[in-house]
Amino acid sequence: MDRKALSGIIILILIFSMAQVFRPVSATPSSVPVSSSDLLIPRKTGLNWVPLEEYSKLTGRTFPVMNEEAYKEAIKYAPFYLGRTPPLDQGNDNQLPSRVENTEYLPPVGDQGYVNSCTAWSSTYYVWTYMINWWRNNPHPDSPDEIMNPTFTYNLINGGSDSGSGMWDAMNVISTIGAVPLDAFPVYVLGEYGDPENYAWVWPNLTQWMIAPHNSGTYDMYIWQWYDSPNNPLYNYPGMWYILYLDNDTQWNYLKGLLYNGYVIQTAILVLPSFDYLNHPEYIIDRLDRYIRLSKYYSDMYWTSGDYATWTVEILLSWVQATYSNINPGSNITPSIELIKDVLTKDFGVSLDDTIPEAVQKINATFYTRFVNNETWWEEASFYLSAYSLKGEEWFVNNAFVDMYAIINLMLMLHYIPEGTYVASGLISYVDFPTFYQARVGGHAVTIIGYDDNATTPDGKGALLMVNSWGEEWGDKGFWKYSYEAARTYTYYDYRYKNKPYVISVRNLISLPVFISYDEAFVYVPKAAEYAPRLMTIVGIEHPFRGEVIDGVYNATTRGLITLAGIPIGIAVNDTPVGEHSFLDFWKDYISDIELAEASPEDIPQAHPFPESPMAFDVSNLAQNLVYYLQETGATPLYVDFYVGLKDILADNYTGTLYNFTILLNVNGEYKVLGSLEENITIPDGGSIVVPVEVPVVSYDKAPNNETLMYGNFNVSIYSIIPLSGARIVIGNESYELTAEEGGHYFYATAIAEKLRLPAGTYNYTIIVTYPNGEEVELPKRTVTISGPVVHIISPKDTIYNTTVIPVKVSVMHSLELVNITARVNGKLIELAYNETSGYYTGTVELGDGAYTLVVSATDVFNNTGVAKVYFVVNSGANVNTVTVENRQITVGTTGNVKVAVKGEKVVASVTTSAGVYEVEVPVVNNAPSIFVDSSALEEVVSGNANVTLVAGWNASVKATTEVGEPENVNGKLLYPVTIKADVKVGENGVAVIALRDINISKIYMIKNGQKVQLTTNENDPIAYYYIKNGVVFVVVKQDPTIVAYGSYVKSAPRRRIVSILTYNFLSYSWYKLYSGKFEELYNESLELGVDNETLALALEYHEKAAEYYAKVLELTGGNVLYHLSDVRIFAPLRKAYIYEMKAVKTLEKAIEEAKGKE
C-alpha cells in the first residue's frame, strides 16, 4: 500500500510514527508542540494483492495448488533438517509436534524502511534466503553474500515506481530470473527520504543478471501453466506444490507438515490498525500524549479569545457535521460525529457544553486515569495485542483506536478551522470514521516460520509464528503471532465473494466489516543447492522508455490479453517454435488499451530507459523443450534458431535498438558462445519484430582439423545444448566411444590414436552422436595427421590376476628409429628386454595384492613419443570368471563367498557377510572390461569397522572422511549429526560401487564441478545413483564426484546407571517370546467367552504390529536373533515387538476377566 505523505496532512503522520516511548506513571501535560524531528515517516507495506482468478484471466496462467502427491514430493524433496527428517528407508511420521519454529536458516530480522517493498522482503529476503541456505546446509546466514537481496526483486516487479508489487510476480522473478546476494546489488530502504532518485527503478548490470540464475527457483514454479490441460502428463508431474489455501483443512495440515519438515512460507495479510501496536501498547500512550499536547497547544493559540472563545464542543461538532454534509451531499456523517461525542464524554469526561479550553483541560486530566495509570487497560492491551487477531482488532478499535480517532480529529479542527483551511485541505474528510480507519489499512506480505497449537490468543488457542520486515523495534523483536482463527476464517474471499466479513461493532454506533487473511500461502523451492544455468542469453536493448518494449496491453472491457508483457525468448526448429518464455512478464507492467491510447511515454509503466548494460536470462528450459520436440517428432536438426521477440507498444517517434543477442552454453563452468547477433536491429516504432540467431545443436570443442599431432595428443571433445545419449568417434575403419560428462552435454576422449592402435598417417574422422530420441547424427568431417610411435601392451591385460608374478609383453610400431622404451608399474621402473625374433619387449614383475597401472612409453629420434597404459588388479585369492553382458565378455574377480550372476546390463554379486547376504549391483558402463568385487570391503561396513568402502567396480578409488557434529538433545536422547564424504575417482573405462554404513542416512548428495545435487535412485543418472539393500546404502558412481551423505545416530543422554544394549535386547526378546506364547491361548479363550469383536480386533491389531516389528528383527539378524543381541539396530524394533505383544495380551486378559465377572 502506498502511503505518500501530503503536505496538507502532515499532522496525520503522527499516527504512523514509531519513536520508542516508555510507559509513564504520571506526567505533566505540555503546551509545547511536537517538533518536526518527531514527525516520522510511516511504515511501508506494499502488497498489491491480485486474486489468482484475476491474474489468471489476464495472463492465462494458473499456479498449482498442493495435493497429497505434491505434499509427499515436497517432504521427500526437502533437505535434511536435524531432528525432524526420517532416514531414507523409513516412512514419515504423521504425528506433528504441537510447536515448530524454523529459524535455523533464517537471516537476521530486516527492515524495509520507507519503501513499499514488503513482497520482496518476504519472498526474497526471508523465504528465499532461508530456502537457499537450507538447501546448501548453511545455517544462520548473516553475511551479505549469504542473504538474498530484496531490492533486486522489487525493482523488477514494481512497474518502475515505488508503488508496491504482487506476490505472483515475486514468484515469477525467483523462478525465471533468480536472486542476488545483498552485496551484489544496492539495498534501498530510505526511499524518497534519502535514497538516490532511481532507488525504485534502477535495474541490474550484466554481472548481476548473470549471478541471479545461480540462486533461482524451480522453473515449473512459474512456467508449468503453459501445459494447461489436466490430462497433459506435464500438468501434475512431481515437484509442483506452490499454493496453499489456509481455510482448507487438508491444505492447512499440509502447511503444518511443511513447517515441521523445515519449510518457511510466504503469505499475505491485510494490515489493520492494531498491527502497528502488536506487543507494544505503550506506543498507543505515546500517540495519544502527542495528540493531546498538540490539542492543548492549538487551544491556547486560537480558542481562548476572539470569535472562538465561546464555542462549545457541541457547537464545534455541529459546525463540522453541517460543513461536511454540505460538501458531501447524501452522505451520513452522523454516526461518526456521535462516535466522537461518545469518546469525548465517556472516555475523557468532557461535557458537550464545555468550551474548547475546558474540554482540552479535561482531556489532559483524564488521559492519565483513563490510560496511563489504568492497570486494567494495560492488562487488556497486553493480552489483546499479544497476537494479530480478529478479536484483538475489535478490542483495539473500541478501546484505543476510537480515542486516537477522536483526539486527532479534535486536534485538526482546533488547528485548521481558525486558519480557514480545514475544508480546502481535505482534512475534514477524516472526520468520517470509515475513511479515517481505511487510511491505516493496507496489504502486506509476511513470512510464516512455524506454528504453536497451544499459543493463547484473543481468538483462542493456536497461532502461526511469523516474522515481519519492520525491524526489531516492532512486535517481539520483529517476530509476532498470528491467530489460527484470523488466518483461516473471515478471509478476503469471504469478504469479497461471499459477503461474509468479520463485523466490528464500533461503540454500537458503526458497523465495520473487516478481514485479515488473504487466505493463500506460497511455497518457494530452489532448483538445486548449487544450481548453475546450462544455457544463457544476453539481450542488449537501447530505448529511452523501456516500458514501450516490455509492457503488456489488455482490453479494458473484457480484461482479455492483447499484447503479452515482457521479452519473449524462444527456440525454433525449421521455423517451428518448440519452446518460448516471456521474461519480465509482470502484472504491474500491463496497461489497458484505453489508457494506452491517451498515454504519453511518461505515463506508462516502466517509463525509464534500459540500463547501459545488457540483460541476461537463463534459458536452460528451452533446451528441454527441444528435447520434448525431438522425442515427439524424431527430428534430427543440426542447427536450431534462438529468437527474441521485440515490440514497441506506443508510436511516438521514440525507437529502440537491439544491439546484443548472444547465446551461451555453460560447459564445466566456462561459457561457450554458440551464436550472436551480427548487426544492430531497429525496433519498429509502434510495431514488432522477431530476431533469430542460428546455433548448432552439437559443437566441436577441442577437435583438431587439418593439424598434425604426435601420438598421445589426439584428443577430441564436443558439447551440446541437449543431453546426448552417446557419442563416438569414427576414424579410418575404427570406432571409439567418448566419455560423457556434464549429464551428457559434454563428451571427450583422449589418446585416441593409441587406444585404436592407429598407424601414423592422415585420417578423416567424424563424431557420431545419439540424440535423446535415439537417432544418430553425424557431425561435419575433419582431418588429422598422426605421427609418432604406436605402443601396444599385450600383457598384462585390463583384467584380474590371481597370481603375483605378472608377465609384461609390449609391441611398438613405428617407422622411425626408437631411442628409448620405458615401463613403470605404479611409477616404479621395470626392465624390459627386446626379443629380435618375436619383435616384442618382455619382462616380468612380482606384485602384491592391489590395483596397478602399467605405463609404457616409446620415443623416436625426433622425440615423438607414444604412450600406452593398462589398469589391472592383482589378488592372489581371487576367483576369476568370465560372464557375458550385452554380448560383451566381462572378466569378474571376487574374494570370499560370492556368487556372480548377470541381470540385463549389470553384474550382480551376492556377497555373504557376517550380517547376511547382500546383492552388489555393478552396471557395466564406460566400456569397463572387468569388474572386481571385494567382499572384505563390504564386511568392513556391515560389521561397523568402516563407514564407507569401495566394494566393487573397476579403475576407481575412494578417499573417505567422517565428521560427527555436536549433538542435539531430542526427547532425552543425544542425536549426533554425521556427515560422510567420499571423494571418488573413476578412471577411464571405470565404474565404482561404494557401500555406506547404516547411520540413519537421510540425504545423499553428489558434488560435481562445484555443483551439489541430491542423489536419487534413478539408474539412468549419468553420474551416480544409489540403492539400499538390507539397511546398507550402495552408491553406484559412473563419473568422479564427491559423495556426501548426511545421517545421525542416537545415544541416550548420560545417566548414572548404564545397562548394556545386549541386556536390553535379551530382556525384550524374552518378554516377546513369553507374551507371544500366551496370545494364542488367550485369543481362543476370548472367542469361547464371547468377547466383543471390537476388543478382539484391537488385540489382533496389536499382535500383528508386534509380528511386523519382529519380522524386521529377523531380517536384520538373518533369522538368528540370539546371535545378534548386541546389535544396536534391533533394539528399537525388538522393543516395539515386545510392547505391542504385551498390549495384545493385556487387552485379552482384561476382557476375559470382565467376561468371567459377568458370568
User: 3-class secondary structure for 944-973?
Assistant: CCCCEEEEEEEEEEEEEEEEECCCEEECCE
Across residues 170-186, what is the average pLDDT?
Answer: 93
Last residue of a domain, one of 440, 468, 503: 440
Q: Which stretches within 443-575 are classed as H helix?
A: 484-488, 492-496, 547-550
- Maximal C-alpha separation, the chain: 136
Residues comprising the chain, all counted: 1159
Last residue of a domain, one of 415, 440, 465: 440
* Residue 88: per-residue pLDDT: 56
The answer to whether the CB of 131 falls within 8 A of the CB of 109 is no
* Residue 1128: per-residue pLDDT: 78
Q: Please state, for a pLDDT cut of 90, what percent of the chain lies above it.
A: 64
Same domain, 286 and 412: yes
Q: pLDDT band at 92, cuts 50/70/90?
A: low
The answer to whether the CB of 618 falls within 8 A of the CB of 216 is yes
* Residue 513: per-residue pLDDT: 96
Q: pLDDT band at 1050, cuts 50/70/90?
A: low
Give the number of domains in the chain: 5
Q: Higher confidence at residue 28 or residue 553?
A: 553
Same domain, 727 and 819: no
Within 13 A of 909's CA, how many CA atoms are on the CB side? 30
Tens digit of each residue's pLDDT (9 = 90 or more) over 524-582: 878 777 889 999 999 999 999 999 999 999 999 988 889 999 999 999 999 999 999 89
Across residues 656-670, what is the average pLDDT?
Answer: 95
Q: pLDDT band at 86, cuts 50/70/90?
A: low
* Alpha-carbon span 365 to 343, nearest angstrom: 15
Sign of CA dihedral 363, 368, 372, 378: negative
For the chain, the C-alpha Rg in angstroms (whole number) is 38
- Type of residue found at 224: W
Same domain, 349 and 281: yes
311-314: Cβ within 8 A, 24+ apart: 311/355, 311/356, 312/352, 312/353, 312/354, 312/355, 312/356, 313/341, 313/344, 313/350, 313/351, 313/352, 313/353, 313/354, 313/355, 313/356, 313/359, 314/352, 314/353
Q: pLDDT band at 946, cuts 50/70/90?
A: confident
Same domain, 278 and 400: yes
Across residues 258-281, what is the average pLDDT?
Answer: 95
* Residue 85: per-residue pLDDT: 63
* Alpha-carbon span 500 to 485, nearest angstrom: 15
**Which stretch of 365-379, 429-443, 925-939, 1115-1129 has the lowest confidence by average pLDDT?**
1115-1129
Is it the case that residue 1080 has pLDDT exceeding 90?
A: no
- Of 17, 2, 10, nearest to 276 by C-alpha is 17
Across residues 860-879, what is the average pLDDT?
Answer: 88
* Residue 1012: per-residue pLDDT: 75
Same domain, 769 and 804: no
Same domain, 1142 and 1087: yes
**Which stretch of 457-471, 694-708, 1038-1052, 1144-1158 has the lowest confidence by average pLDDT?**
1038-1052
- Type of residue found at 880: V
**Which stretch of 59-73, 82-96, 613-627, 717-731 has the lowest confidence by average pLDDT?**
82-96
> Is position 164 within any domain?
no
Is it the case that residue 32 has pLDDT exceeding 50?
A: no
Q: Highest-confidence range of 804-818, 972-986, 1044-1058, by mean pLDDT?
A: 804-818
933: helix, strand or coil: strand
- Type of residue found at 822: T
Q: Higher confidence at residue 51 or residue 280?
A: 280
Q: pLDDT band at 972, cuts 50/70/90?
A: low
Across residues 112-139, what is the average pLDDT?
Answer: 94
Tens digit of each residue's pLDDT (9 = 90 or more) over 582-622: 999 999 999 999 999 999 999 999 999 999 999 999 999 99
* Residue 960: per-residue pLDDT: 85
Grid cell locating 864: 615423438
Same domain, 750 and 837: no
Sequence-ordered list of residues with C-beta below 8 angstroms from that of 137, at least 6 positions apart, any chain: 79, 80, 529, 1046
Is it the case that residue 42 has pLDDT exceeding 80?
A: no
Same domain, 419 and 433: yes
* Residue 859: per-residue pLDDT: 87
Q: pLDDT band at 37, cuts 50/70/90?
A: very low
* Residue 61: per-residue pLDDT: 62
> Is position 188 within any domain?
no
* Alpha-carbon span 1030 to 1045, nearest angstrom: 18
> Is position 336 within any domain?
yes
Report the b/e string of 1001-1013 with b at 16+ CB within 10 A.
bbbbbbbbeebbb
Which CATH number fits the domain that encloses residue 812?
Answer: 2.60.40.10
- Of 916, 898, 899, nearest to 1031 by C-alpha is 916
Across residues 436-453, what is the average pLDDT?
Answer: 95
- Domain membership of residue 728 as a residue range: 698-787
- Grid cell 545416530 is found at 1049
**Residue-averaged pLDDT of the chain:** 87
The answer to whether the CB of 281 falls within 8 A of the CB of 287 is no
> Is position 975 within any domain?
yes
Which helix (H) or strand (E) segment is 512 a member of? strand 510-514
> Is position 711 within any domain?
yes
Across residues 803-811, what is the average pLDDT?
Answer: 95
Which CATH number fits the domain that encloses residue 987?
Answer: 2.60.40
Q: Higher confidence at residue 15 or residue 662?
A: 662
- Grid cell 519492520 is found at 470
Beta strand pairing call for 688-696 and 639-647: antiparallel
Is it the case that residue 329 has pLDDT exceeding 90?
A: yes
Q: What is the pTM of this model?
A: 0.75
Is it the case that residue 220 has pLDDT exceeding 80?
A: no
Same domain, 715 and 754: yes
Is it the case that residue 66 has pLDDT exceeding 70?
A: yes
- Type of residue found at 504: I
Which CATH number fits the domain that encloses residue 744?
Answer: 2.60.40.1220
Could you give the C-alpha distances from 791 to 664, 712, 753, 985, in angstroms and in order? 40, 10, 10, 26
> Is position 719 within any domain?
yes
Across residues 761-780, what is the average pLDDT?
Answer: 95
Same domain, 1098 and 1147: yes
> Is position 495 within any domain?
no
* Residue 1058: per-residue pLDDT: 46
Give 837's strand partners.
Answer: none
Is it the case that residue 1059 has pLDDT exceeding 60?
A: no
* Residue 616: per-residue pLDDT: 97
> Is position 236 within any domain?
no
Cα distance from N-terminal residue to C-terminal residue, the chain: 76
Which CATH number fits the domain that encloses residue 1141?
Answer: 1.20.140
- Of 178, 181, 151, 154, nearest to 165 by C-alpha is 154
Same domain, 1038 and 1066: no
* Residue 1031: per-residue pLDDT: 81
**Which stretch of 61-70, 206-215, 1108-1117 has the lowest confidence by average pLDDT?**
61-70
Same domain, 1016 and 1105: no
Is it the case that residue 24 has pLDDT exceeding 50?
A: no
Last residue of a domain, one of 399, 415, 440: 440
φ, ψ for residue 487, nearest 5 deg: -75, -30
Across residues 845-858, what is the average pLDDT?
Answer: 94
